Amino acid sequence: MSLRYALLALLTSQPLTGYDVFKQFEQSVGYVWHAPDSQIYPELRRMEKDGLLRGVEEAWGKKGKKKRYHITPEGVEAFRAWINTTLDYTRERDPIHLKAAYLEWAEPDAARAQMQAHIAYHSSRAQQWQEMIAALEDRSNPILATRLEAAPEADRAKIAGYKIFTYEGMIERANAEIQWARRGLELIDKLES
């Protein structure tokens, strides 16, 4: 998935300024696709140049201007084409599993610290995703609320349901990583005693 489709996904709910895109990206799409603002703003400009977005200049303050991006019919079509196409899976780069394969080179305390850090990281992420699910379920997530308000009543359960399903999958993946790291701690204790 490219940043382009993550941005199109976000902009299907409403027109946004570049700043609003960045802020809402971090609070929604950013949970599944990370991108810093240094990538988001240039991609918005490229998407506008490619006809996927239309930028409308608006007054901002006394003398300033800002651009609000609207998804175009071509942008909607590009998003639909992407969402309806099976992904080409790329080979992974997985530094923690690479390290784990060579833990015999590590000091036992360093190996344990790595596994404990992995557990802490994935526990924190799982907690964040659980909080997102709660906000989706009770409709307190402002981005979802905006999307639901604009959607037909018949589509609202699907909109929330698929997002909840996504975060549940991420929690399951995090829990698998936590269990793997716990087994790693047990293995370190067994092999290094």
Whether pLDDT at 50 is above 60: yes
Whether pLDDT at 146 is above 60: yes
Instruction: Categorize the per-residue pLDDT at 142 as very low, low, confident or very high, splitting at 50, 70 and 90.
Output: confident
Predicted confidence (pLDDT) per residue in 2-33, tens digit: 899 999 999 998 999 998 999 888 888 877 88
Instruction: Categorize the per-residue pLDDT at 76 as very low, low, confident or very high, splitting at 50, 70 and 90.
Output: very high
- The arithmetic mean of pLDDT across residues 131-145, rounded, is 90
Whether pLDDT at 1 is above 80: no
- The arithmetic mean of pLDDT across residues 49-59, rounded, is 94
pLDDT at 80: 96
- The arithmetic mean of pLDDT across residues 113-131, rounded, is 97
pLDDT at 27: 83
Whether pLDDT at 132 is above 60: yes
Q: Which two tokens stand for residue 57?
A: 């200049």
